[in-house]
Amino acid sequence: MTSPPGDGDRDASTTGPRPLVCARCGAGAEEPPPVTWTCSVENGVRHYFCEACARENLRAIEGRLDSEWW
């Protein structure tokens, strides 16, 4: 998967891992996100969800997928 031009999520001027925060509960991790975390792009902005929040809200996450994913 490729990112659209001007994707501000990857800034080349940043050195070292950046802290990530779960968009739901505020749990923290360093970049790259753990493989158990979920990434959601909403209105062009990436939101990361920790494993616990992703599991608790899986149906809501799936419900936002475009029908072409089904």
Q: What is the DSSP string of the chain?
A: --PPTT-TTS-TT--SPPEEE-TTT--EEESSPPTT-EEEEETTEEEEE-HHHHHHTHHHHHHTS-GGG-
pTM > 0.85: yes or no: no
The more confidently predicted of residues 18 and 33 is 33
Average pLDDT (1-7) is 51
| 22 pLDDT more than 90 | yes
pLDDT at 69: 64
Residue with tokens 């950046």: 18
pLDDT tens by residue, 32-69? 889 999 888 888 999 999 999 988 887 777 777 777 76
The pLDDT confidence band at residue 15, using thresholds 50, 70 and 90, is low
Give Cα 49 distance to the centre of its chain: 6
